């Protein structure tokens, strides 16, 4: 269980850092959000990236590490099993969206989100 959490933690961290870089103005718009923007993302989308980079991915990381007993976070609310199944759905849909993207560069995220989804299945079943 701990191995699945640690394996998932790496790409979750990469995704969070990527979102923070987008929010800060990194010119990687083609690799995100369907590849609809070349270069720097528009302000509203950058705010979305900021929320994902500062809140969503760090929260997912905490739950994944806790579900795999790699971190003790008894203060986190909710059922770890339920949260892991939500993560399976989130990253499973993300895998499909990334794999189907018209942006070739965005497709690089599909294997990463698939690894996270599989690890979350393991954690949900554990």
Average pLDDT by consecutive 10-residue portion of the chain (126 residues)?
97 98 98 95 98 98 97 90 98 98 96 98 97
The pTM assigned to this predicted structure is 0.95
pLDDT of 74 = 85
- Is the separation of the CB atoms in 48 and 56 below 8 Å? no
Residue that the structure tokens 């103005």 belong to: 25
pLDDT of 26 = 98
Handedness of CA 38, 40, 44, 47 (dihedral sign): positive
pLDDT of 69 = 95
Q: Which of 35, 59, 64, 32 is nearest to 48 (CA)?
A: 32
pLDDT of 105 = 96
């Amino acid at each position: 269980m701990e191995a699945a959490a640690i394996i998932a933690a790496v790409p979750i961290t990469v995704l969070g850092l990527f979102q923070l870089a987008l929010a800060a103005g990194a010119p990687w718009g083609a690799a995100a959000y369907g590849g609809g923007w070349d270069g720097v993302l528009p302000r509203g989308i950058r705010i979305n990236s900021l929320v994902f980079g500062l809140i969503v991915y760090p929260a997912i990381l905490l739950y994944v590490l806790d579900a795999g007993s790699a971190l003790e976070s008894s203060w986190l609310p909710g059922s770890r099993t339920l949260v892991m199944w939500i993560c399976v759905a989130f990253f499973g849909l993300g895998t499909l969206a990334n794999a189907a993207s018209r942006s070739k560069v965005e497709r690089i995220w599909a294997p990463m989100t698939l690894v996270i989804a599989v690890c979350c299945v393991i954690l949900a079943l554990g």
